[in-house]
Structure 1
Amino acid sequence: MYSNLPWYGKALCLAAFFAISGSSFASADWQNGNKLYEGCEDHTSFNLGYIEGVIDTLGADSGKFCIPANVIAKQLKDVVCKDLRESPKDRDRLAAFLVFRSLQRAWPCK
């Protein structure tokens, strides 16, 4: 169903899903980098699930980023959290975009 959407369309679908879900994490401001960064600081597992959800939605084989097969989930979170820590001026942006950008910076396709 979503396989024909461009990566940004998938990111928007993911953000919309979290915005309308009944989860306690679905407040309107959850999907920004500030809230995602809070998860980096308090070591919540939701952060990791969000990052993996973005990867699943965008497609690890999308050609937008190329994560090596031996990378573990904690590394994904560490990469995103490092990027958020080093770019505080961007944390008001959409969290799905920031995750995408972090992964693309860390593992660009060659």
Structure 2
Amino acid sequence: IAIAAFIFYVGLNALPVRADFMNGNILAGLCASEAEWESGGCVGYIVGVADAIDHRHWSGTGGVDGGKYCIPDSATREEIVGLVIKSFDENQDKLEGLALYLVSNAFIDAFDCNADLKYPL
């Protein structure tokens, strides 16, 4: 009973939490960080978006055989992270935008993906 009462008490007094989407400034900061866990967050975020872009492209073209594969199989994590960081450096005026959109657009521009996938900024 004491444990249940404690959990109930903590639940009542917990601070409200807000979930904000990551913007380009936050992601650029992670990518520039010397801390391994932050730079790892940068790589993980960008690679996750790459996976999602490829899935979206496959879905929109009918699968692997339905259209041009957007991000080439030969692209390494280092290459895709590097091209996103380069895009951030070249488009600093857009870093207030959603990181998802900025990263997606960097891939679309770099790999000649279907322009219909591009997000407006």
After TM superposition, the structure 1 stretch with the greater mean CA deviation from structure 2, 100-109 or 53-62, is 53-62
Q: Is the 8 A contact 1:60 1:67 kept in 2?
A: no
SS in 2 for 1:62: helix
Gaps of 5+ in 2: 1-17, 61-68, 115-121
Equivalences, count: 84
Which structure's residues are more often helix, by fraction?
2
Higher RCO (C-alpha 8 Å, min separation 6): 1
- Equivalent position of 2:22 in the other structure: 31
- Equivalent position of 2:32 in the other structure: 41
Letter in 2 for 1:39: L
User: What is the alpha-carbon root mean square deviation over aligned residues?
Assistant: 2.5
Q: Is the 8 A contact 2:54 2:70 kept in 1?
A: no
Pair 1:85 & 2:89 matched:
yes
Question: What percentage of residue pairs aligned between the two structures are identical?
Answer: 27
Gaps of 5+ in 1: 1-25
In 1, Cα distance between equivalents of 2:80 and 2:29: 16
In 1, Cα distance between equivalents of 2:52 and 2:89: 24
Given candidates 20, 32, 47, the residue that maps to 1:52 is: 47
Relative to the length of structure 1, the TM-score reads 0.65
Structure with bigger gyration radius = 2
